[in-house]
Amino acid sequence: MFVRNCWYVAAWSHLLPAGVVIGRQILDEPIALYRTESGALVAMEDRCPHRLAPLSLGCVQGEHLQCRYHGLTFDTAGNCIDAPGTEKIPPRSTARTFPVAERDGWVWVWAGAPHLANEALIPRGFDLGDPRFTMRHGEIRYEADYQLVNDNLCDLSHLDFLHETTLGGATSGGWSVQPPRVTPLERGVHIERWLRDRPSSPGGNELTDIWSCYDFSVPGILVMRTTFYPRGSADRCGLAAPSDDLVPLLRRVDQQAVTPTGENSCNYLFAAGFEGTTPSPKAMERMYKIVMDAFAEDRTMIEAQQRIWDLTPASRKKAFLPSDKAPHLFRKVVARLLDRELNAS
């Protein structure tokens, strides 16, 4: 079961210039996203009410969307305004629409009750179009429960093992040695930690202290800053959050979203890069390759984990490590929101 009264990332904004329509699936609902010629963004169920043809295969005509199969045309509210062969609009010809928003380079769709849609609940991220950030982005499909991907992102101790030669290797490990500080949030968790005496770049000789800090919010939104400081900064801060007067050497940023498409499938949209600096193309390519190699390792492991999960009785108790605190707390947040919806229905 899914939390429906929630904003889900459907696509990157730049995939939807004026006049373009694309198909996506959120939870178990196919959705056609399109931008009208005037620039309005629309999220409509991806099924024509005539014979259920995908509207994402249709075409934008000014402010309207026309089904390419038999020509029914819909306005931005999903009302059929033209049905070829008849002057009277037939009954049952309305397509459902969803609240939609655009923020920080992503298109967000509200999957629940439309009157409850509140854009203030959208987690803030880094905008790919903001000149302060230099980022590369991508998208991966998982054949796994989205909550397994969320567990993975809430617990970075696996970098020392699964990503020993990629992300973990780039920071010389140490993610599993000391559990991070985890703070519960209303709709997520806040996770932070210091890593002492780590290279400033993969294979580099200059040692730095790294401050890793991120929010992980419902349904699965990671907004992370990884900041490199002069060696000794962690101790000077008493392992607390760095003060504003502490000058960083380098700032990394990551923006990720996990969007379930079904019970055991999800899309994973991500962007990674740097803040306040313009790295060379070679440095960006090296960073992006490390990220993509690590995400391939994640996908292989999590999809294999899903297969074992499906073969294991739900009643079987699992071992608990200190690093499981954040995944455990986040699952409790999801369960609480789900219970709230069920009790309200």
CATH numbers and ranges of domains, the chain: 7-121 (2.102.10.10), 133-337 (3.90.380.10)
| pTM assigned to the model | 0.94
User: Which tokens in the block code for residue 177?
Assistant: 């040695």
Handedness of CA 17, 18, 23, 29 (dihedral sign): positive
User: Which tokens in the block code for residue 92?
Assistant: 């049952």
Give the rounded distance of the alpha carbon of 185 from its chain centre: 18
Residue-level pLDDT, tens digit, the chain, 345 residues: 899 999 999 999 999 999 999 999 999 999 999 999 999 999 999 999 999 999 999 999 999 999 999 999 999 999 999 999 998 999 999 999 999 999 999 999 999 999 999 999 999 999 888 899 999 999 999 999 999 999 999 999 999 999 998 888 777 778 998 789 999 999 999 999 999 998 877 766 789 999 999 999 999 999 999 999 999 999 999 999 999 889 999 999 999 999 999 999 999 999 999 999 888 999 899 999 999 999 999 999 999 999 999 999 999 999 999 999 999 999 999 999 999 999 986
